[in-house]
Amino acid sequence: MNTVVNPNDISGVVEADRKHVWHHLSQHKQYETIDPRVFVEGRGMKLWDAKGQEFLDAVSGGVWTVNVGYGRETIANAIRDQLIKLNYWAGAGGNVPAALFAEKLLTKMPGMSRVYYSNSGSEANEKVYKMVRQIAHRHHGGKKWKILYRDRDYHGTTIGTLATSGQDQRAAQYGPYPDGFVRVPHCLEYRKQWDVENYGERAADAIEEVILREGADTIGAIVLEPVTAGGGVIVPPKGYWERVQEICKKYEILLHIDEVVCGVGRTGKWFGYQNYGIEPDFVTMAKGLASGYAAISCTVTTERVFDLFKDAPDDTMSYFRDISTFGGCTAGPAAALENMRIIEDEGLLENTVKMGERLMANLAALKEKHAVIGDIRGAGLFCGAELVADRATKEPADEKKVQAVVGDCLAQGVIIGATNRSLPGLNNTLCLSPALIATAADIDAITNAIDKALTKVFG
């Protein structure tokens, strides 16, 4: 007979976790000999686990999410107050926080006008894919149904979004995938595919080559991260985005920007695409939208896209025939409203730019000291350091050693990330995404830990 564990009995909680919780991205064989790590409290950028160990979080909740830090009482109160008043009504109807947050969000996104709610980044992206397919049927005679995606980008964990995964290890063992999703080359200049002067433009031209190969009349949309996240923190090279937009307009291809990671301040702008003058047709977001205090994602479109689904009321097949059950939960937009207020009132975009510059400067100093760092790149508080066995050949550092650096930082009480089980042979980039509240002392503590770890692992 199962018994309920007293939540104050931490040893019992850890054992309950070991016996009953199936963790994400984890091989559970290890928990036969070691305890799973259970976190019990967070404040600011600090975390404490069940053993009382303190950690500085340099990855915002492990997956680029807790943008305004832990322990925000005003967000918790906003959620509580809203749930008592009205916790839920299906998204076919409206509610107060959903209307108010949509209005507020769109003030930060000139040119965009409609917000569709769901509850995860994967789901938000899947909505776009469905919209593109429905537009193809309703307006293009079934043509323009294919969706382009980029090597090294990642868009979610559903079968549909994994069909657009540019990270082969993430997608491995889950196929076969649906047809109509076509890969285009990445734009990482450090590992450039073409030896040309204007690399950004050349990388974008490679997209046009794929379009012409597939047939422009078959391509409905392209999905791209403004800065590639889990694929190695890839900042697009000069000239890339301008050329991408030219190509999309030339062939009437809808531009879908996946802001699930970059959105809501991570790069120092409200959205990553705003660093590059991009005019998207779709923008998707999740993670930092409510800083992990409630589940929420948004698929945002232009009015032009929205109008493609408007028709006479008696046309039962014209509207977007989709539902997200928990897109109707009021906790998400209530939390997102307060999250946005905090970012505005505390000047966190400005802090992100300032602290991002300090983080990149510190990483540049580490690169001077450690030959194992082949490249550093980033935007705002979203930075990466690619580790190599040889700078001249750019041979990637051994993945086990990269993970050893992560492990040593953890032992020092600093949680950093790294590309992992994503890119065959190229899981060699350390990933840093501290909360937007980071101080100079936090940034220095993060890079000091990396310095010590690199010395220990690589000498």
Identify whether the C-beta of residue 145 lies closer than 8 Å to the C-beta of residue 133. yes
Would you tell me how many other CB atoms lie within 10 Å of the CB of residue 36?
Answer: 15
Could you tell me if 122 and 178 lie in one domain? yes
Beta-carbon contacts of residue 418 (< 8 Å; ≥ 6 apart) = 402, 403, 405, 406, 427, 428, 429, 430, 431
Does the CA dihedral 324-328-329-331 come out positive or negative? Answer: positive
Could you tell me if 291 and 401 lie in one domain? no
Domain end call among 289, 321, 345: 345
Could you tell me if 335 and 201 lie in one domain? yes
Q: List the one residue out of 280, 320, 275, 259 whose CA is nearest residue 113.
A: 280
DSSP string, 372-421: TEEEEEESSS-EEEEEEEETTTTEEPPHHHHHHHHHHHHHTTEE-EE--S
Identify whether the C-beta of residue 214 lies closer than 8 Å to the C-beta of residue 182. yes
- Establish if 453 belongs to a structural domain: yes
Question: So what's the pLDDT on residue 308?
Answer: 95
Question: So what's the pLDDT on residue 4?
Answer: 56
Domain enclosing residue 172, as ranges: 74-345
Could you tell me if 338 and 352 lie in one domain? no
Question: So what's the pLDDT on residue 1?
Answer: 40
The structure's pTM equals 0.95
- Establish if 9 belongs to a structural domain: no
**pLDDT string in tens for the chain (459-residue length):** 455 556 677 888 899 989 999 999 889 899 889 898 999 999 999 999 999 999 999 999 999 999 999 999 999 999 999 999 999 999 999 999 999 999 999 999 999 999 999 999 999 999 999 999 999 999 999 999 999 999 999 999 999 999 999 999 999 999 999 999 999 999 999 999 999 999 999 999 999 999 999 999 999 999 999 999 999 999 999 999 999 999 999 999 999 999 999 999 999 999 999 999 999 999 999 999 999 999 999 999 999 999 999 886 777 788 899 999 999 999 999 999 999 999 999 999 999 999 999 999 999 999 999 999 999 999 999 999 999 999 999 999 999 999 999 999 999 999 999 999 999 999 999 999 999 999 999 999 999 999 999 999 998
Rounded to whole angstroms, the Cα distance separating 129 from 149 reads 11
Distance between the two ends of the chain, CA-based, in angstroms?
Answer: 53
How many domains does the structure of the chain reveal?
A: 2
- Establish if 19 belongs to a structural domain: no
- Establish if 319 belongs to a structural domain: yes
Task: Reduce the DSSP state of residue 248 to 3 states and report it.
Answer: helix
Identify whether the C-beta of residue 148 lies closer than 8 Å to the C-beta of residue 219. yes
Beta-carbon contacts of residue 21 (< 8 Å; ≥ 6 apart) = 36
Query: What CATH number does residue 285 fall under?
Result: 3.40.640.10
- Amino acid 318 reads S
Domain end call among 285, 316, 345: 345
Sheet containing strand 146-150, edge to edge, reads 114-118, 297-301, 282-285, 254-258, 219-224, 146-150, 181-184
210, with CB counted inside 10 A (0-12, 13-18, 19+), is middle
- Establish if 162 belongs to a structural domain: yes
